[in-house]
Structure 1
Amino acid sequence: MESFALERIYRFTDIIVRTAYINILVIVFSLLGLIVFGFFPAIIAAFSIFRKWFTGYSDISITRNFWRVYKREFVRSNLVGFIIVLVGGLLYINMSIAEVIQHDGIRLTYYPLLLVNILFLGMLIYLLPMYVHFDMKLVELFKNAFLCMFAMPLLTIVLVVTIVMLYFLFTIIPGLLPFFGFSLFILVMMKGALISFERMLGFSEIAKD
């Protein structure tokens, strides 16, 4: 019994250390790409590492695989990131304008825009996990990520609640940010998305190795 408990503690500690190390890699490689060009390749590399762990490859070299994915996906991940930032920025600006301008016609658009923003954020929960798990064209990637959000609504709600709880955790304990500020969000999103992918018909046929 004691050896079993020690083994559980060791595994838990190992997960914590690895997760913190991935977060540090995200920060370092984001800086390597001057943040603007390095952030999304680093995020994609982190998603790829967690995907490997959750699909049975727990003994892979973290640094080597992180660097390999970072280089391979540098251009494509930045393209996806540019689309995310552009669309998200436009949606946020339009919603902000609808909120502050004192005009009945414009203010009526606030709640529809708020709904679109919420749906966009919900889609992002599945978008990057789907990016690393499937071979898809960009149009299919965004379309299927959007559909995935509705395929398992309860799971989507659980993921949103978990992400919000993590956000508040980091606001309460900001000292955790350098060690888990990205990696915990990525871990939760990747694990939740994989559960959804496994239950959705047709996706297994195009999954990456």
Structure 2
Amino acid sequence: MRLNGLMKVVYQAGEWVIKLVYANLLWMFFTLLGLGIFGVMPATVGLFTLLRQWIMGNEREPAYKIYWNSFRQEFLRSNLVGLIFLVVGYILRMDIIFFKTSSHFIFQILLAVLFCVGLLYLITLLNFFPVYVHYKISFFAYFKYALLIGISQLSSTLMMIIGSVVIFCLYWYFSGLIPLLCFSLFSLNLMWFGYQAFKKIEYEQQQTQLSRQ
């Protein structure tokens, strides 16, 4: 039976909800498999890898297999990524707290600079996982690409932020959704807008190449 109009939208939305609940359960399982602290990052990479495949329309490969392959292959490297973000974030936080305690003019200037650095840190963090699962580049190039794409495709980054705020409000008012969709819905928001940014970049590159021919 063919579905049209509103019924088709409702059906597709229901499909996505079921898939996101399953993806979230897998994320929780693989996080526990990595003993929690060591499982969060590889499980997150696995989740973004899976969501990217779904967004691209590839649903032939079992979700569990995609997760497992990504978890196994990216275990060490993804934990290194997590350590880098954790250390940089901690240093930024401590520096901001330190400079806020002083009213000295120089410290206030440094505080403003740190807030700008913190904004760049946030942009890099939001775009990092979509970039990480989409491109095959050198390790430190992922951080550079995440920042450059986040700045150059500012509309997508803003939609990531707005989407994250909306999802947080949704969880705030409907806390029963947290166990079911706590991480997968946030990740879908980032991966979806990240993928739109990648397609736009690829389209612009193709147009540039055609104009040179």
The TM-score normalised by the length of structure 2 is: 0.87
Residue in 2 that maps onto 1:199: 200
**Greater Cα shift, 141-150 or 103-112:** 103-112
Which residue of structure 2 lines up, in the alignment, with residue 35 of structure 1? 36
**1:154-199 Cα deviation digits (max 9, x unpaired):** 2221221111221222233222111111111110111111111112
Q: Following the alignment from structure 1 to structure 2, what is the Cα–Cα distance between the partners of residues 69 and 35?
A: 17
* Alpha-carbon contact 1:122-1:156 (below 8 Å) kept: yes
Read off the aligned partner of 1:200 and give its amino acid letter: I
The answer to whether structure 1 residue 13 and structure 2 residue 22 are counterparts is no
Q: Counterpart in 2 of 1:74?
A: 75
- What is the deviation of 1:10? 3.0
Cα deviation for residue 202 of structure 1 reads 9.5
User: Match for residue 121 of structure 1?
Assistant: 122
Partner of 1:163: 164
User: Does the CA-based 8 Å contact 2:21-2:180 persist in structure 1?
Assistant: yes
Aligned residues: 205
Contact map agreement 2:127 2:157 (CA 8 A) in 1:
no
Alignment of 1:182 with 2:166, yes or no, is: no
Decide whether aligned partners of structure 1 residues 201 and 175 sit closer, same or farther in structure 2, where only a CA change above 3 A counts. Answer: same
1:23 corresponding residue in structure 2: 24
Given that 2:123 and 2:151 are in contact with CA atoms closer than 8 Å, whether structure 1 keeps it comes out as no
In structure 2, do the counterparts of structure 1 residues 111 and 169 end up closer, same or farther at CA, with 3 Å as the change threshold?
Answer: farther
Q: Which residue identity lines up with residue 74 of structure 1 in the other structure?
A: F
User: CA offset at residue 58 of structure 1?
Assistant: 2.3
- Sequence identity percentage: 28
1:110 maps to a residue whose letter is L
**Pairs within 5 Å for 1:11-160:** 11-101=12-102, 103-160=104-161
SS of equivalent to 2:58: coil
Unmatched 5+ residue regions in structure 2?
A: 207-213
1:75-109 C-alpha deviation (Å, 9 max, x unpaired): 11111111111111111121122223454433332
Q: Distance in 1 between matches of 2:118 and 2:166?
A: 20
3-state SS of 2:133 partner: helix
The 1:51/1:173 distance shift into structure 2, 3 A limit, reads same
Q: Deviations over 1:102-127 (max 9, x none)?
A: 54433332222112111111111211
Shift of 1:203: 10
Structure 2 contact 27–44 (Cα < 8 Å) conserved? yes
RMSD: 2.3
CA distance in 2, matches of 1:202, 1:85: 34
Gaps of 5+ in 1: none
Q: Aligned partners of 2:131, 2:194: CA distance in 1, in Å?
A: 8
